[in-house]
Amino acid sequence: MKSAKRAVVLLSGGLDSATVLAMAKAEGYDCFVLSFDYGQRSLTELNAAKAIASSIGVIEHRVLRLNLEDFGGSALTDHSLHMPDAETESIPESGIPLTYVPARNTVFLSLALGWAEVLDADAIFIGVNAVDYSGYPDCRPEFIKAFEQMAALATRQGVEGAPIRIKTPLIDLTKAEIIQAGVSLGLDYAQTVSCYQADEAGRACGRCDSCRLRSIGFKDAGIDDPTRYQD
Amino acid sequence: MKSAKRAVVLLSGGLDSATVLAMAKAEGYDCFVLSFDYGQRSLTELNAAKAIASSIGVIEHRVLRLNLEDFGGSALTDHSLHMPDAETESIPESGIPLTYVPARNTVFLSLALGWAEVLDADAIFIGVNAVDYSGYPDCRPEFIKAFEQMAALATRQGVEGAPIRIKTPLIDLTKAEIIQAGVSLGLDYAQTVSCYQADEAGRACGRCDSCRLRSIGFKDAGIDDPTRYQD
C-alpha cells in the first residue's frame, strides 16, 4: 500500500533538473531519482546529482550506466567531435545542434517508465523546456504529449485506467523564472553543474552554450550567480 | 551517402525475432542488429542471437548491457520470484503475466531509435505479435502505432519529414505462420532459443510457457520441431 503519491524524477545534476526535483518534492511527492551515466564527458554532473538528491531528500537515487556513446553522433558523447563554443553550431538541414544526443529524452523517459511501473508511481518528472528552446526535437511539448500517450498504452497502470503522467513543470518557464522558482524553494544552485566541460571539481568553463544561457538566466532573474567558475 | 535502405533489427535470439531478421534481410534492408544483455536468466539467448546474426549476414551486431534487473518486478529478471510453469500465472488485477518486464519494449525500441537516428535508418524491426497474445500491453498494435508517432516527434528524421518506421511483420501471424515464413526463408530454428530456463548449451526445458507455445507452433505448422531439449 502506497502512503503518499510517488514520482520518478530524472536528475542530471544540472540547473533545470535540480529545480524540477525541488518542485516535485514541494508538491508532496515521494521522490525516486534516476540519473544516467551515459558516457558523457562531464562525470562531475553525476557527483552534483548525488549531492542535490541528498540535500533535497529523496527516497532513493539510482544511477544507470548506459553506453549511448556506442551510438556516437553527438559532441556530448563523441570525443572525436569538437565541443561547440559560444555560438550554437547546428546540423545544417534540421537546425538541430551538434550537442544533441540521439533520442536521449526518449531513452531516459522509457527507463524512468520501467521503474515507475514497478514502483506504481503516479508521475515522471523531467526538466524539458520549450522557451529557451535549444533546437532538440525531444524537448517540444508535442513530443512529451506523444510520449505520455504511448506510455499509457505500454504499461499496467495505463491498462488499469490510471496512466503514469509525464510532468514538465519547466516547459513554459524562462531560465530566469526557473531560477527564481528554485531559489524560492531553497535550492542551492552552487550544487548544480550545467557546463559541458566542467572540471573535476565541478567548476564551469563560463564559455560554452550551457554556461552562457545559465549566466544570462541569473542576470535576468536579478539573482547573484553562485556558479563556481574555473577562473 | 547511403547505398541501400537500412534497418535496425531487435534480436533476442528467440524464434520470433530471428524470423523478423530473416524477413528484413529478404526485404533488401542492410541490417544493423541490436540485442540486450539485461540481466535475464538465460544468457544462452544472447549466444543464440550472435549465431543467428552471423548466419543470416548483418552489417553490425551490437549488444547493450542494461540493468533492468535493478528495477525488479518480473520473474524473468527478479531471481526472488519463481518461474511460472505450464499454466500462465498473472497479476490478478490486470491479467498481465508475471514474466512481463516493465516497459521492456518501450526501452528496447527507444534505444533502437537512438541508433537508427545516428545510422539514418529507414526502419526499426521488432517481433511483437498480437495473435498468440501474451497479455503484455506493449505487444499491442496500438502501442506500436503510438510509439511510431512519438518517434516521429523525437527525431531528426521526423523533423525533416521522413520519420523512422516501426515494422512489425509478425503482428498478425500465428506461431505456425511465423515458423512457415522462417523456414521458407531458410532460417535454421535449431539456432534459436525460446525457453525461459534453457541450459548453458541452449537446450530447452520443454515445460515453460514459451516452450509450450513454440512446440504447438511447430505441430500446427506441420514442421518437425528442431528444438534441442534437455531430455
- Tell me which chain A residues have a C-beta less than 8 angstroms from the C-beta of B159: 94, 96, 137
**Minimal Cα distance from B115: which residue of A?**
A71
- CA nearest neighbour of B176 among B19, B63, B45: B19
Of the candidates A64, A91, A102, which has its C-beta nearest B67's C-beta?
A64
Torsion of CA A192, A124, B113, A82, to 10 degrees: -10
Range with lowest mean pLDDT among A49-53, A94-98, A109-113, A121-125: A94-98
Chain B nearest CA to A127, separation (Å): 16
Share of chain B above pLDDT 90, in %: 58
- How many angstroms away from the CA of A129 is the closest CA of chain B? 14
A vs B, Cβ pairs < 8 A, gives 149
Cα-based distances in Å from B91 to A121, A151, A164, B87, B135: 17, 19, 18, 13, 10
Domains and CATH numbers, chain A: 6-187 (3.40.50.620)
Name the pLDDT band for B175 (thresholds 50, 70, 90): very high
- Identify the pLDDT of residue B65: 78
Residue B38: the pLDDT is 72
What is the per-residue pLDDT for A82? 41
pLDDT value at residue A196 = 79
Contacts of A166 in chain B (CB under 8 A): none
Name the pLDDT band for B199 (thresholds 50, 70, 90): confident
Q: Give phi and psi for B166, each to the nearest 5.
A: -105, 115
Q: Do A64 and B70 touch (CB under 8 A)?
A: yes
pLDDT in tens, B34-53: 998 876 555 788 899 999 99
pLDDT surpassing 70 at residue B225: yes
User: Which amino acid is present at B16?
Assistant: D
Share of chain A above pLDDT 70, in %: 81
User: Mean pLDDT across chain A, nearest whole number?
Assistant: 84
| A218 or A41, which is more confident | A218
Residue A145 confidence (pLDDT): 97
B147 confidence band (pLDDT: 50, 70, 90): very high
Of A2-11, A120-129, A206-215, B156-165, the range with the highest mean pLDDT is: A120-129
Interchain proximity B153–A138, CB inside 8 Å: yes
pLDDT (0 to 100) of residue A74: 47
Mean pLDDT to the nearest integer, A14-33? 97
Average pLDDT, chain B: 84
Q: Which residues contact B213 (CB under 8 A, 6 or more apart)?
A: B132, B175, B194
Task: Report the distance separating Cα B45 and Cα B115, nearest Å.
Answer: 22
Interface test with B, best of A150, A155, A160, A164 (most B CBs within 10 A): A150
What residues of chain B lie within 8 A of the CB of A71, using their CB?
114-115, 118
C-beta atoms of A156 and B71 within 8 A: no
Which range has the worst mean pLDDT, A6-20, B35-49, B133-147? Answer: B35-49
H helices within chain A, ranges in order? Answer: 15-26, 44-56, 104-119, 141-154, 156-159, 175-184, 209-221
Convert the pLDDT of each residue in B81-92 to its tens digit: 444 443 344 444
Whether the pLDDT of residue A100 is over 90: the answer is no
Give residue-wise pLDDT tens across range B65-75.
776 655 655 44
Q: Which residue has the cell 533535497?
A: A56
Closest approach of A95 to chain B, Cα-based (Å): 9
**In this predicted model, what pLDDT tens digit does every residue of A161-204 receive, in sequence order?**
999 999 999 999 999 999 999 999 999 999 999 887 888 888 99
Closest Cβ opposite residue A143 in set B66, B137, B154: B154
Query: How confident is residue B6, by pLDDT bands cut at 50, 70 and 90?
Result: very high
Expressed in angstroms, the distance from the first to the final Cα of chain B is: 52
* pLDDT score of B137: 85
pLDDT, tens digit (0-9, with 9 covering 90-100), for A142-158: 999 999 999 999 988 88
Of the residues A74, A147, A157, A160, the best mutation for testing chain B's interface (the one with the most B CB atoms within 10 Å of its CB) is: A147
User: Tell me, what's the pLDDT at A133?
Assistant: 57
Residues in chain A closer than 8 A to B114 (CB atoms): 68, 71, 101-104, 106-107
Q: Can you give the pLDDT at residue B133? A: 57
Residues of A in contact with B8 (CB under 8 A): none
Chain B hits for A109, CB-CB cut-off 8 Å, are 110
State the SS3 of chain B. Answer: CCCCCEEEEECCCCHHHHHHHHHHHHCCCEEEEEEEECCCCCCHHHHHHHHHHHHHCCCEEEEEECCHHHCCCCCCCCCCCCCCCCCCCEECCCCEECCCCCCHHHHHHHHHHHHHHHHCCCEEECCCCCCCCCCCHHHCHHHHHHHHHHHHHHCHHHHCCCCCEEECCCCCCCHHHHHHHHHHCCCCHHHCCCCCCCCCCCCECCCCHHHHHHHHHHHHHCCCCCCCECC
| pLDDT of A153 | 95
A63 vs B79, higher pLDDT: A63
The CA distance from A70 to the nearest CA of chain B, in Å, is: 9
Are A110 and B114 inside 8 Å of each other by CB? no
Top residue of B6, B40, B156 to mutate, by most chain A CBs within 10 Å, is B156
The band of A79, judged by pLDDT with boundaries at 50, 70 and 90, is: very low
Contact B156 A146 (CB under 8 A): no
pLDDT at A102 (0 to 100): 75
Does residue A39 have a pLDDT over 70? no
> Residue B61 pLDDT more than 50?
yes
Q: Which residue from A91, A106, A156 is facing B113, i.e. has the nearest CB? A: A106
Is the predicted pLDDT of residue B202 greater than 80, yes or no? yes
Q: Residue A10's closest CA among A137, A121, A154? A: A121
Is A107 within 8 Å of B107 when comparing Cβ atoms?
Answer: yes
| pLDDT score, position B135 | 73
